[in-house]
Homo-oligomer: A and B are copies of this chain.
């Protein structure tokens, strides 16, 4: 009793791919949520070792899919082999990283304020604290990272690490990939004797599946990577529930790059080429693609513009993920190209052999035009960027104030140039208010998965600026603290018992044992 079938399309050829995959209807959605809720008590009770071993097995099973997975991803997304293999390594790497996080136990934030029976005027009770998972999590897979932000991507890995069952809404652009990875996870669930509802994947189009998932009372949190419109509609649906739930939506960012005079003077052409390489990576279909460049007027700016233009013009067309993404890219670039005061600098070469192709675009404008046209800071998903000539530091300050929240903000400076140094010292405190990650002399594409990374930022980059969707802190999104007062030792959760039997580095009276 499913709601029909869904086929992927190869964006390189435009051909429909076999087989069709069943689309989940209301009954399947309700069943997945019911199973997830049933599984919650048992799954969250797994100890650190068992849960970590499960995550490691998920990674092993994904690797065991071998080249069949890589070939299917390439067919469904048009992404090149090196990228797909790299993304697979990132995906299994972050599953194993979260296994190590689970084993470490610091994420529990376990702490004890011991009883003080003789305190006056009142004795102090024994208080202990740990973090527990919120409940089943709905994960909305992204189109542009068919492995790392999809069925067994970062949201899934961090939710499973937190002890939360996961119901994934697969992205309809890569159903075969989703089916293969989903099967690998389900096999790991079985191998570790976990309840069936620990993990499930639902496939479907559009809003109905998403809205049903987010409003199901058994779903307690949502992870989402996608468009601003999609993210905000889930946020609204979650807030309108009788019991609202958090939505961790990673949405929209143009990742501004700021070029200081010393950097331009010293290496304008080199920066132009490096910028074009970052912009055209993956046909620009990255959350961190540099969509805006602010360059302070002066020596080297022309060289930057010329080199970037030449590099973009020489960039061959590349497949985009879907015809819908291509249509939105066309609309966005046409709108930009036709805006008064905006010049088209360059367009990549065409390739008629690609059915759904992106020809990168580069535009130029001045600060006054940029400030007068708020739509110029809207994201155009794909390889399109706007260079803005900025008159002076004061105008740059006005522009920084006008920008929306971002995932990243990048500064290029000449390290030994006192002028750049002074400008950077003034700008960095403004940029850290604007973005989740601030870079110097690099490019925002390429996100490290580690302990110190932040993939997040103020609205509308995300709906939850205090969180990150990449890196070990991502687990915190699915947890909340609980305090235990005067609970008899044998009824306490094991990690909170005297003597730290699970080695989670219990913090006593605020004195760190190394937990968080």
In the assembled complex, A268 has its CB within 8 A of some CB on chain B: no
Known: A452-B129, A459-B244. A465 touches B480 (CB 8 A): yes
Contact B482 A451 (CB under 8 A): no
Contact A453 B132 (CB under 8 A): no
The copy count of this chain in the complex is 2
A57 to B200, CA, bound (A): 55
Contact B451 A507 (CB under 8 A): yes
Please give the number of chain A residues whose Cβ is less than 8 angstroms from any Cβ of chain B in the complex.
83
Instruction: Flag the segment in A16-24, A106-114, A273-281 that touches B.
Output: A106-114
Instruction: Flag the segment in A60-68, A120-128, A359-367 that touches B.
Output: A120-128
In the assembled complex, A327 has its CB within 8 A of some CB on chain B: no
Determine how close the nearest CB of chain B comes to the CB of A377; give it in whole angstroms: 14
Contact A486 B243 (CB under 8 A): no
Contact A491 B440 (CB under 8 A): yes
Contact B428 A491 (CB under 8 A): yes
A464-487 at interface with B (beta carbon < 8 Å): 465-468, 472-473, 476, 479-487
In the assembled complex, A191 has its CB within 8 A of some CB on chain B: no
A422-465, CB under 8 A of B: which get 1 and which 0?
00110011001101111111100010101111101011100101
Determine how close the nearest CB of chain B comes to the CB of A161; give it in whole angstroms: 14
Contact B483 A466 (CB under 8 A): no
Contact B134 A491 (CB under 8 A): no
Q: Looking at A113, A453, A483, A484, which has the most chain B CB atoms within 10 Å of its CB?
A: A483
Chain B residue numbers with a CB within 8 Å of A121 are 86
A127 to B455, CA, bound (A): 12
A463 to B454, CA, bound (A): 25
In the assembled complex, A41 has its CB within 8 A of some CB on chain B: yes
Which of these, B452, B482, B505, B514, contacts A111 with CB under 8 Å?
B452
Contact B127 A458 (CB under 8 A): no
Which of these, B432, B472, B483, contacts A454 with CB under 8 Å?
B483
A360 to B289, CA, bound (A): 63
Determine how close the nearest CB of chain B comes to the CB of A137; give it in whole angstroms: 13
Which of these, B436, B481, B515, contacts A482 with CB under 8 Å?
B436
Contact A485 B243 (CB under 8 A): no
A466 to B456, CA, bound (A): 18
Closest Cβ neighbor of A241 among chain B residues: B459
Contact B483 A125 (CB under 8 A): no
Contact B440 A487 (CB under 8 A): yes
A420 to B189, CA, bound (A): 34
Contact B454 A482 (CB under 8 A): yes
Contact B440 A113 (CB under 8 A): no
Contact B491 A421 (CB under 8 A): yes
Closest Cβ neighbor of A439 among chain B residues: B485
Known: A440-B485, A483-B436. A113 touches B451 (CB 8 A): yes
Chain B residue numbers with a CB within 8 Å of A438 are 482-485, 487
Top 7 closest pairs, chain A to chain B, by CB = A512-B514, A516-B516, A454-B483, A127-B452, A451-B510, A439-B485, A129-B452
Other contacts beyond A440-B486, A473-B481: 12, CB < 8 A: A109-B473, A112-B452, A113-B448, A129-B452, A424-B491, A436-B483, A438-B483, A439-B487, A440-B487, A451-B507, A466-B476, A472-B510
User: Which residues of A approach B to under 8 Å, CB–CB?
Assistant: 41, 45, 86, 100, 104, 106, 109, 111-113, 121-122, 124-125, 127-129, 132, 134-135, 235, 239, 243-244, 246, 404-405, 415, 421, 424-425, 428-429, 432-433, 435-442, 446, 448, 450-454, 456, 458-460, 463, 465-468, 472-473, 476, 479-488, 490-491, 505, 507, 509-510, 512-516
